[in-house]
Structure 1
């Protein structure tokens, strides 16, 4: 009976920890609304350039890697929220890639996605 009690308590603790994980809004640093108010980043302009120079590079998000191919515009649009999440958190580009994004580049991606990730 004591073992059953310990198992139940353990499961409750694990469940509680899993449910207390931060949600996307808590882990993504949000640029101030002013940055997006003045930010006119577009897919065909800033965002595409950022992705082509930092993500759609050999060994990363290109054909034949098993990852989403970001040389295809629709794949960028379809994965815009995940791109925003990963770039804002610093998860992408990975530190061992030798690539990094500036705050301005992260803001461009954030604001483009926040504005609806349009094909513009």
Structure 2
């Protein structure tokens, strides 16, 4: 009888402890998106280096317009190609559109005159 009673208690405890629901937003919060004081030396260089200036893409000696420094990127901002390809047409990078935060950062940076530093 004691075994039956103990087994019943274990089953009840196991049942109630398994009814736990995680809230996904609390476990995996959205990373914050900095939209303040954007500059090439701050957020944009990292974005360009990870999405554009990669091996076989917009680096030296690839036959494509290089995007390895501020002057090269600023030239693409000034002639409108960066906004057209990355934000309006969203066909760059070729792997797919930039994430929403990065696209917003790039758009705001271009709209602010593409400052090099804060």
Answer 1 or 2: which has greater helix percent.
1
1:103 matched to which residue of 2?
A: 100
- Two-structure CA RMSD over aligned residues (Å): 1.5
TM-score by length of 1: 0.61
Q: Residues of 1 paired with 2:43 and 2:81: CA distance?
A: 18
Structure 1: runs of 5 or more not aligned: 1-37
2:81 matched to which residue of 1?
A: 82
Structure 2: runs of 5 or more not aligned: 1-34
> How far is 1:52 from its partner?
0.2
SS in 2 for 1:71: coil
Paired residues for 1:1-120 under 5 Å: 39-80=36-77, 81-88=80-87, 89-95=89-95, 100-120=97-117
Q: Residues of 2 paired with 1:47 and 1:102: CA distance?
A: 13
**Misfit runs of 4+, over 2 Å:** none
Q: Residues of 2 paired with 1:46 and 1:85: CA distance?
A: 20
> How far is 1:68 from its partner?
1.2
> How far is 1:100 from its partner?
4.5
Q: Residues of 2 paired with 1:40 and 1:86: CA distance?
A: 23
Task: Choose 1 or 2 for highest CA Rg.
Answer: 2
